[in-house]
Structure 1
Amino acid sequence: MEKQQTAKPALRFPEFTDHWNNTKLSELLKEAKKRNTDLKYGKDEVLSVSGEMGIVNQIEHLGRSYAGVSVHQYHVVEVGDIVYTKSPLKANPYGIIKQNKKKAGIVSTLYAVYNVKEENAHGEFIEHYFSLDENTNRYLRPLVKKGAKNDMKISNAYVLQDKIFVPSVTEQKKITLFLNILEKKIEQLKEKKRLLEEYKKGIMQKIFSQELRFKDDNGKEFSNWSKMKLSEKAKFFSGGTPLTTKKDFYIGNIPFIKSGEINKDKTEQFISEKGLQSSSAKMVEIGDLLYALYGATSGEVSISKINGAINQAVLCIRSEIFNKLYLLNYLQFHKVEIVEKYIQGGQGNLSADIVKKLLIPFPCSKEQEKIANFLSTIDDKINRTQAQIENTMEYKKGLLQNMFV
């Protein structure tokens, strides 16, 4: 069946009425074949392509350069060029397509680079079109063949062989201008969140070093802080994992909280009452303080958002003596220090014994409360800003879905 050749988007600026044409991508882009043969760009100018951040300097993004011995055959990427990365991501199993908006550089030969044919296309319109995962996946899926190692079997030229619906360049630019305003708003909100997080870190440094002290409601100094092992202030328990060979243990409605899920309001797995009773998994409640012992999240701490069962990688800390929000912030602030001290070289796990023996400075309960409340007000601002980011991004996504065909 022949594909539809023209269409109109659901949402549109009123001054545009023409149909969008189903246009081959090769009419909008052309393969850029310029190589770094003159070594104009060095290893410190290699670019990476990120699904979230777009095209960025590799060292700034990943901390170091992953360039080969020589970069003389690397592709040159000018500002405005479009880059297709032939690497699968979870949301984009056939790779991603991004525009270089920041600075010229080079990418390895595993990438494909394209110039924009400005008489037919506006580069940022192409970027916005492929910013929708469904658009990228729908376009690339028929073209890409995957090898045994999940590598992409597609030539740079063949990437341009399918079609997308596009309007006139004038309408492309109008759409881009509008969407860029939303992008700027999102970036401003992200910067606001970053500054709030930096402010909180600075404040916590002053609080936990006791450079900044609170006073009671009458303006008097609180008593000196005492330092003691956490085991003197709290009770602890961790859980376990029901036998995975028992399928009926995993057919239930009890959330099964793993170390990477202590800050989430839902879990990937659920266990049955039988699974709970037949294992060392233990129940925690909303409001319990949870500490991650194993894996990539070792040292993370959170207040549980759900009632559920924990496995052996999660430690529950309960006490009627300390303020759990005070302890939460202290452990969050000292996470890197704790992990570096007790997990040598980043290998291994924390344990309940390690956590119990941590020496924690405790102010009196009233000062703990004031500290916790003060830091919570900052967290509230951070959370509200994050909600604004997510809402604006969702709004933008809805517009993209309706403004493109």
Structure 2
Amino acid sequence: HLETLIKGFRQKLFSQELRFKDDNGNDFPEWEEKKLGHYLKHKSVRNKSFEVIRVLSVSNSKGFILQSEQFDNHRVASKDVSNYKIVKKNDIAYNPSRINVGSIATLKDFEEGIVSPMYVVFNLKNTLNLTFFENLITTHLFKHLVKIGCSGSVRDSLNFEDLESFKLKLPTLNEQIKIADFLISITKKNVSERKILAEFESQKKYVLQNMFI
């Protein structure tokens, strides 16, 4: 199945089993090990003037959702949202006690919203590509680091300092973009061709033939 193929390529790319060439056909530089904090910017802007009213949560299956969807009576968990954190489009947020089940997401569907004060909110410096990062957090390695980080805490939670301390080998921005563009292209094909089983083999051959172009 194409989804399995995509997961396989993602795993191979992030483990460096497969490597792209640069636009001149040369090897990219070796991946450098750095702390993840080198690429992240912590955000903690509070909703002091109540200007933002859209209350959001992060689910492990749907990403950002309206918090009212989680409550039967459509009431927000807290009436006073002045201490809630403001999230802007393309910011990333997670629930520290639920990141171990995948509750981390990028805000895409709204320009802004607010999340519970317990959430961690951050965005990326321009040395880390957003799509690359979104794929990185689905890898076995990242999940393993989250598991270790959570197990070291009293409440099985992961604060921002824990996240910043993760040591990862990451490629240059140009190689990140190449990986991200490739994964976007095969994901789009997956969406449009999911029901056409006959396309599977030709798609597989096409992807393999074009891996290093």
Q: Please confirm whether the aligned pair reaches a TM-score higher than 0.5, indicating the same fold.
A: yes
- Secondary structure class of the residue paired with 2:169: strand
Asked if the contact 1:292/1:299 (under 8 Å) is kept, the reply is no
Which of 351, 354, 364 lines up with 2:159 in the alignment? Answer: 351
Normalising by the residue count of structure 1, what TM-score does the alignment of the two structures yield?
A: 0.39
Other-structure match for 2:107: 304
2:182 and 2:22 mapped to 1: Cα distance?
14
2:6 and 2:93 mapped to 1: Cα distance?
21
Asked if the contact 1:292/1:315 (under 8 Å) is kept, the reply is no
Give the letter for the 2:113 counterpart. Answer: G
Q: CA RMSD in A?
A: 3.3
1:344 and 1:288 mapped to 2: Cα distance?
26
Other-structure match for 1:364: 172
Deviation, 1:253, is 6.1
Which of 72, 77, 91 lines up with 1:288 in the alignment? Answer: 91
Other-structure match for 1:201: 7
Other-structure match for 1:374: 182
Cα separation, partners in 2 of 1:296 and 1:230, compared to 1, 3 Å: closer
Which of 1 and 2 has greater Rg?
1
Q: Does 1:340 align with 2:147?
A: yes
Asked if the contact 1:237/1:317 (under 8 Å) is kept, the reply is yes
Which of 40, 45, 53 lines up with 1:254 in the alignment? Answer: 53
1:325 and 1:376 mapped to 2: Cα distance?
8
Which of 36, 39, 51 lines up with 1:233 in the alignment? Answer: 39
Cα separation, partners in 2 of 1:330 and 1:338, compared to 1, 3 Å: same
Deviation, 1:263, is 1.5
Asked if the contact 1:238/1:315 (under 8 Å) is kept, the reply is yes
Q: Number of aligned pairs?
A: 181
Other-structure match for 2:136: 330
State the percentage of identical aligned residues: 29
Cα separation, partners in 2 of 1:205 and 1:315, compared to 1, 3 Å: same
Deviation, 1:368, is 0.5
Gaps in structure 1 of 5+ consecutive residues: 1-194, 243-248, 389-405
Q: Which has the higher contact order (CA 8 A, sep 6+)?
A: 2
- Secondary structure class of the residue paired with 1:380: helix
Note the alpha carbon deviations across 1:341-399, whole angstroms, 9 max, x for none: 2233996211111111111222111110011111112332444468x8xxxxxxxxxxx
Cα separation, partners in 2 of 1:355 and 1:254, compared to 1, 3 Å: same
- Which aligned pairs between 1:267-278 and structure 2 lie closer than 5 A? 267-268=67-68, 275-276=80-81, 278=82
Cα separation, partners in 2 of 1:380 and 1:238, compared to 1, 3 Å: farther
**Superposed structure 1 runs of 4+ greater than 6 Å apart:** 239-242
Give the letter for the 1:223 counterpart. Answer: P
Deviation, 1:239, is 7.1
Cα separation, partners in 2 of 1:265 and 1:300, compared to 1, 3 Å: closer
Normalising by the residue count of structure 2, what TM-score does the alignment of the two structures yield?
A: 0.70
Give the letter for the 2:54 counterpart. Answer: P
Cα separation, partners in 2 of 1:382 and 1:263, compared to 1, 3 Å: farther
